[in-house]
Amino acid sequence: MGAPAGLHLDYLSLAEYRSARWSDVLGVATFDPAPRDGGDSTEIPVAQVATRVLLGTADVREVWRSGEPAESGQRNRVHFRRSENLLFGCIAVPEPAVPEARCDGAAPGTAGAPSALHGATVGAYRDIYATLDAVGYPHLLRVWNYLPDINLDSHGSERYRQFNSARQAALRAAGKPLTGNVPAASALGASHGSPLLVYFLAGRTPPVYIENPRQLSAYRYPHQYGPHSPVFSRATLLRQRGSLTLFISGTASIVGHRSIHVGDTAAQTRETLANIEALVEEANRVERAARFTLGSLALKVYVRRPADLPAVQAQLAAALDPSQPVIYLQADICRQDLLVEIEATGMCPLKIAA
Ligand code: 3EB
């Protein structure tokens, strides 16, 4: 049987993944300390995300398929697999335990000195853009960033802010835009001691970039959230032969640029869903057709405190279809006052004119 047209996303247990025996897998993400012998051919890039699974099987896999023949490759530290129009890639960069020395002689580990995380982030994005430009998939569509101790202060600032400064520096160095045409993204904490992990989807043609009318664009956040704004779009919309994909970035209880419902997990979850619904509406407006609904998305839910899982689940049960694919992970979120963050993906087959 022929593979379905266009990109596909499934959340599967290891056993389900093994028995599916798909030939068109582009890439996989695992969570928790998943065993490496996941039954993947060594051809398939596997992003090993160091976040605990909060519900269901710990060996759950996020599986991206293209519906087309694919080939694998490696360049610098980036492992990738690509089909005609799409590329999945991942890179893991350990942070050196000893802070890098500065050429101006300033003591390492002090305010102002570049952190190991800064170096790892700049290096990861440099390798990613070099790879994409070399193999001809120059448009980053969707990026997932996982960094250990995301809320920890070091070198005079929070590590998430160091990451933002470094990501922006790397994009600038690669000659990429810092506002507007920037990928959808997520940035979450990962377990202490894990490497900086970035995985991504990239395309040969540009997507449509979507912002949320209820939120200030992240790349325009005021400096109270850090000297360099996070560079991501709220969503991207990819039209390919036969299908339309909506990649919704990590979304939280932020209206304008402020975190709201501080301390109230249930209310943060409802506000997050309202933001996702606003993005779905915006995508439909751009498409001039009701292509997506909240009930047709696959969701990945990040909960800061495991004890909040029932509260988050109750809100989602009230808003979602019971058959919707949803996975729950424990992760620190990039603002201390955020307790939950949700990312989503929507896929819609398109009729092709004969
Ligand atoms: C926010 O809306 C919440 O830095 O790449 C969400 C998605 C968030 C992506 C990123 C951060 C990022 O600002 C945090």
CB 146 within 8 A of CB 95: no
Q: What angle do CA 247, 39, 4 make, to 5 degrees?
A: 45
The span from the CA of 350 to the CA of 354, in Å, is 12
Q: By C-alpha distance, which of 236, 216, 232, 212 is closest to 224?
A: 216
Cα 153 vs. chain centroid, distance in angstroms? 23
Backbone angles phi, psi at 188, to 5 degrees: -135, 165
For ligand 1, atom 14: residue with the closest CA: 334
pTM: 0.95
pLDDT beyond 70 at 328:
yes
Task: Quote the ligand 1 centre to 315 CA distance (angstroms).
Answer: 21
For ligand 1, atom 9: residue with the closest CA: 186
pLDDT of residue 1: 41
Task: Quote the ligand 1 centre to 4 CA distance (angstroms).
Answer: 32
pLDDT of residue 242: 82
Interval 190-220: pLDDT, tens: 999 999 999 999 999 999 999 999 999 999 9
Q: How many CB atoms lie within 10 A of CB 18?
A: 13
| Mutation choice for ligand 1 from 150, 165, 249, 276, CB with most ligand atoms inside 8 A | 249
Interval 263-305: pLDDT, tens: 999 999 999 999 999 999 999 999 999 999 999 999 999 999 9
Backbone angles phi, psi at 306, to 5 degrees: -50, -35
Task: Quote the ligand 1 centre to 249 CA distance (angstroms).
Answer: 7
User: Which residues are designated catalytic?
Assistant: 341
pLDDT beyond 50 at 112:
yes
Percent of the chain, pLDDT > 90?
86
> If DSSP states are collapsed to H, E and C, what string results for 166-184?
HHHHHHHHCCCCCCCCCCE
The span from the CA of 5 to the CA of 110, in Å, is 52
Residues with C-beta less than 6 Å from any ligand 1 atom: 145, 185-187, 218, 230, 232, 249-250, 252, 254, 334
